Structure 1
C-alpha cells in the first residue's frame, strides 16, 4: 500500500442537519479534512416524523419511506450546495443519508480508528440540558477522535433577535452588532 492509499482511507465524518450548529461543524470538518488530506463524509441522519415506533404501527408510513429518504437526501444536497457552492469543499466528498438515531448512526459511520468524527456541541447556558445529546453520545461511544465544535457566536445573536421579533420588541443597533 502506498502512502497515497493510506492517506485516502482517512475520513472526517460530520453530522449535518441543516441547523446553524451543524453548518458550523461542517465548515470545521471541511477545514480538518483539508488539513489532514482526508475525505469528507457529511452524514444526515433521519427518522420518520413521528418516530420509528409510530412508523411501524402505521401501514401508510411504509409508502412514505421512499419520500422521506428522498427529502433527507435533498436536504443534505441543499446544505452542501449552500455551504460549499459549485466549488465544493476542496477534498473528496462522500455524502451519506442514514435512517436511524443521530448519535448511534454517526458512531457507526465513523467506525475506523483513524476516522475523525465532528459534531456540533450544542447550545450554551440553560439550553444545554435540552440539547447536545448527540455530541455527548458521540463523545462517550466513538472509537475514534471526536471534535465537538462549539456553537457560532452568531447563533446566540440570531436567537436573541428572533426572540425579540417573536415578542414584538424593538431591536436596537446594539443588539445587531
Structure 2
C-alpha cells in the first residue's frame, strides 16, 4: 500500500465487511497494525471482529470521528482506507493523527464536496487516491510484483484468507450486481466463467 502503513500504527478501514475491507483487516493484523473498521450492521461488525478488527464502529448509529478520538485519546488514526469519498472527506481529515494519511479508493459517497483544509496544515496530513484502470502495464506489473513479495506469503501461510460471500456464473452477473447494491454481503462476490 502506498500509504506506508507500518507495524504499530493505527488503521481505519471504511466498509470493513467488504471484499477489500475483509482482506485489509487480515493483512493489517498480520503486520501488527491496530485496526478500526466501520460497517453498517452488527452482523458485519461481528464478522470484522472475527477477522481481527480491534475497534468496530457502526456508522449508522455512531459518529466514527468521536469514537476514534475516544479510542485513541484524542490522537486519531495514522491511516484511513476510504471507499466513500466526498461525503466522508472532512470527517476523515478530522479523524487523522499528526502526519496521518488518507488513502481514497472509491467514491460511494460522491466525488465532490467542500472541505476545510486547515487540519491538513495543522497536522501535516496527506491525501492519496488510487485506481488500477488508468495505470500503465508496467505499473500494474510492479503492483503485482509487490503483492507477490509482501502479501502473497501471508496467503500461502494461511494467515490471510479471502472471504468469499457468494459465487455466480458469469451469465448471472446482473444478479451479482443486485446483491452488491443491496450491501447485505460480507466479503467478495465472485463471477466465474
Q: TM-score with structure 2 length normalisation? A: 0.36
Higher relative contact order (CA 8 A, sep 6+): 1
Please identify which structure carries the higher helix content.
1
Greater Rg over alpha carbons, structure: 1
Q: TM-score with structure 1 length normalisation? A: 0.38
Please identify which structure carries the higher strand content.
2
